[in-house]
Amino acid sequence: MSWVPTGLRGRLVITFLLVAIIASVAVAGLGYQLVRRELLDRVQRVSVSDIRDTLSRVALPVGASDVVWPSDSTVTDEDLGDLVNALNGPDRAVIVTYGGHRRISRGSPFTMTDVPDQLRWQATRRLVFQRLRLNDRPWLLVATQIHRANQNGVVRGTGLSAYVFVSLSDEEGVLNRLRGSLLQAGGITLAIALTVALLSAWQVLLPVRRLGTAARMLGAGELHIRLPVRGKDELAELTAIFNETAEALEEKVTELRTLEAMSRRFVADVSHELRTPLTAMTAVTDMLSEEADGLPDDAGEAVRIVLREIDRLKILVEHLIEVSRFDSGAAVLRRENVDVGDTLADCLEVRGWADQVKLTVPIGLMFSLDPRRFDVIVANLVGNALHHGAQPVLVSARVRPSGLQVTVRDHGEGIPERSLPHVFERFYKAGAGRARSVGSGLGLAIAKANAELHRGTIEVRRCDPGTLFTLWIPAP
């Protein structure tokens, strides 16, 4: 798997380095090739010119014919030796041939087998040269047949051929040193480019980091955060847009918070105002209940409906007041060590559920919790199981190392899967058939809020049959 940088800093640095490397390689490569070509061409021109001048000054013996030929015996080994000495020099090797005669300069490592056949053939017509690598060293081979003008002024070949090997070792050393210098310069350039890239990336990304920090602070609720706008580039424009967005968001959130506070205050005020008439109405409910059976059927049914709605309204008002306490942050937890079994039994007995619920609790089970809020949690869970589930309803409690666990299970049809994620939402009722139930739609939400006040949780899942609620309260 190839490593690909995903961060903006990494991509900027790599892009900068790639540009620097490509530019350095291009400049160094072009410079090296220009120097190499000029150096070798200069050596080649000087060597060819020197060999041509030397050959033009060489005095050849003249025999019976007007030009020396390979069949002529007037050219001796001594003559070939003189020609070799004339062409020889430092870092040179010379081979001169004439017919079957051949003379090689002293100490020369070359023979005619080192001369390419094509070059040998071309040398019969003109002066030619070629760069070769022989014995792991660079050489310039200059080859030509010596030509002279006869008595009639016609230039004809003499049959004498000269092959001069000119060493290019010094030039290769110069090029090697140049290549090393270019590599060192490239390394220095790369180090400078890396430093400049890091500094540039840091400078370019500094506003981006500031924007990221400000965005996180904005997400954490610090809506007053603003950034200074510096310059007139794209990042400055982005910073200005961020400030405008933060200002607009602060205005909207402030407006929403104001509306939310007004809504909470309204609910709390209405709930408390309803308490007085509800108290008066509740005072006469017992009397109306006793008189309902003696009234005509229609009047008796009307009285019973009124009594049910008064009970329902009473529960709703109590729940709204409890919710308003949580929303305003006025809910306070008062822990004390209680007998969990006795607390659960009292909760069921007060509400007349003792005969409808099977309670399983170890004797003497003690735990630190808020008795009133624990009672509210259990009452809502058991009431939900009795009203919307089916018997038997099972309640159990036990203490684990991590805390207190209380389970409430019914054996009804169970809450639908699609409703499980929403059962703790306010005013949510699973199914249209429950819209006019006794519950307010706030019971489970209040139960969860009380559990979270204990730093605990409530979980719900379907069973076969029924629904299982699990309350977990950690040890203080």
Q: How much of the chain, in percent, has pLDDT values that exceed 70? A: 82
Do the Cβ atoms of 442 and 430 come closer than 8 Å? no
Q: Establish if 381 belongs to a structural domain.
A: yes
* 162 and 175 in a common domain: no
- Does 144 lie in the same domain as 79? yes
In a domain, 22, yes or no: yes
* Together in a domain, 142 and 202: no
Other residues' Cβ atoms within 10 Å of the Cβ of residue 30: 10
pLDDT at 432: 46
Out of 220, 255, 288, pick the residue that ends a domain: 220
Percent of the chain residues topping a pLDDT of 90: 16
Does residue 41 share a domain with residue 120? Answer: no
Computed over every residue of the chain, the mean pLDDT equals 81
Grouping H, G, I as helix, E, B as strand and the rest as coil, residue 101 is: strand
**Do residues 439 and 387 touch, judged by C-beta distance below 8 A?**
yes
Query: What number is the average pLDDT over the span 35-63?
Result: 81
- What does the pLDDT look like over 90-135, one tens digit per residue? 888 999 888 778 889 888 888 888 989 898 888 888 899 999 998 8
Amino acid residing at 351: R
Count of CA atoms in the C-beta half-sphere (13 A) of 157: 15
Domain check: are 314 and 425 in the same one? no
Whether 360 and 465 share a structural domain: yes
Query: Six-digit token pair at 430?
Result: 């699973």
pLDDT tens digits, 294-314: 667 677 777 777 777 777 777
Question: Tell me, what's the pLDDT at 274?
Answer: 67
Verify that 80 and 183 share a domain, yes or no.
no
Asked, for residue 414, whether it belongs to a domain, the answer is yes
The whole-model pTM stands at 0.47
- The range of the structural domain enclosing residue 404 comes to 333-474
Please tell me whether residues 162 and 178 are part of one structural domain: no
Domain assignment of residue 229, yes or no:
no
179-192 residue pLDDT tens: 888 888 888 888 88
Does the structure show a pLDDT above 70 at 60?
A: no
Q: Tell me, yes or no, whether 401 lies in a domain.
A: yes
* Higher-pLDDT residue of 178, 286: 178
Q: Are 119 and 141 in contact (CB under 8 A)?
A: yes
Q: Is 241 domain-assigned?
A: yes
Q: Given this model, what pLDDT does residue 435 score?
A: 45
Clarify whether residues 208 and 313 are in a common domain.
no
Structural domain contains residue 280: yes
Same domain, 135 and 82: yes
What pLDDT is stored for residue 150 in this prediction? 66
Q: How far apart are CA 216 and CA 348, in angstroms?
A: 49
The last residue of a domain, from among 146, 167, 188: 167
Q: Which of 308, 327, 346 is the last residue of a domain?
A: 327
**Ramachandran region, residue 441 (left: φ > 0; alpha: ψ -120 to 50; beta: rest):** left
In a domain, 227, yes or no: no
Rounded Cα–Cα distance for residues 344 and 374 (Å):
9
392-405 mean pLDDT: 90
* Whether residue 413 is found in the same domain as residue 436: yes
Separation CA 267–CA 442 (nearest Å): 14
Up-side HSE of residue 462: CA atoms within 13 Å toward CB? Answer: 11
Where helices occur in 58-91 by DSSP H, the ranges are 77-87
Are 360 and 459 part of one and the same domain? Answer: yes
Average confidence (pLDDT) over 464-471? 90
In the chain, the number of structural domains is 4
pLDDT band per the 50, 70, 90 thresholds, residue 398: very high
Question: Which pLDDT score, from 0 to 100, does residue 66 have?
Answer: 54
CATH of the domain at 464: 3.30.565.10
Residue 163 pLDDT > 90, yes or no?
yes
